[in-house]
Amino acid sequence: MIRKYIKKDFLSVVDFVSKNPNPEFYVTNHNTRTIVSDIRSTTLLLKTSRVVRISDDHGDVNGVLAVWKSEGEVPRHYVKLVACNSHVAKGLLISLLWNDNLDFFVKIKKTSPYMKIFTNKGFKFQGDRGSEMLLRYNNVMTKKTFNKDENGYDKDKNTKFIKR
């Protein structure tokens, strides 16, 4: 089951990330990457993340997804993901994309097992960073605009917009 992280899940999350260290699941603090694999780094990630979702199987955490907001000139929302298998990773990512309306970025190694999951869900190539790639998901919903003439008629359907 995929759900939002709550404080009582802390020890389960620490246990999971300590048993499943992943160099792509890191937090950046003062321009230093710290792999999330212990209590201190998990606390830092949870404190600085905007959204945290977990996947659990009868109380055992088997995947964590966090959205971390960078603090540069142009703030970005980076997706951090660690899971026991690709099925869990895909479910966590789908949950995020369905429930949050933001632009998301992910820095991912070119050889990552999650690369195909991100690209299949609409993340597009944004830049190359040596052994890593920057992918972006544009999730901003656009408002529909109508093509009105000077009398308030829709030019395409020849119907009048009524102001209420």
> DSSP assignment of 124-141, as one string?
EEEEEETTEEEEEE----
Q: 76 is written with which tokens?
A: 């970005």
CATH superfamily membership of 2-137: Gcn5-related N-acetyltransferase (GNAT) (3.40.630.30)
Tell me what the mean pLDDT of segment 99-128 comes to. Answer: 92
Provide, rounded to the nearest whole percent, the portion of the chain with pLDDT above 90: 60
pTM: 0.80
Higher pLDDT, 129 or 3: 3
158 dihedral zone (left: phi>0; alpha: psi -120 to 50; beta): left
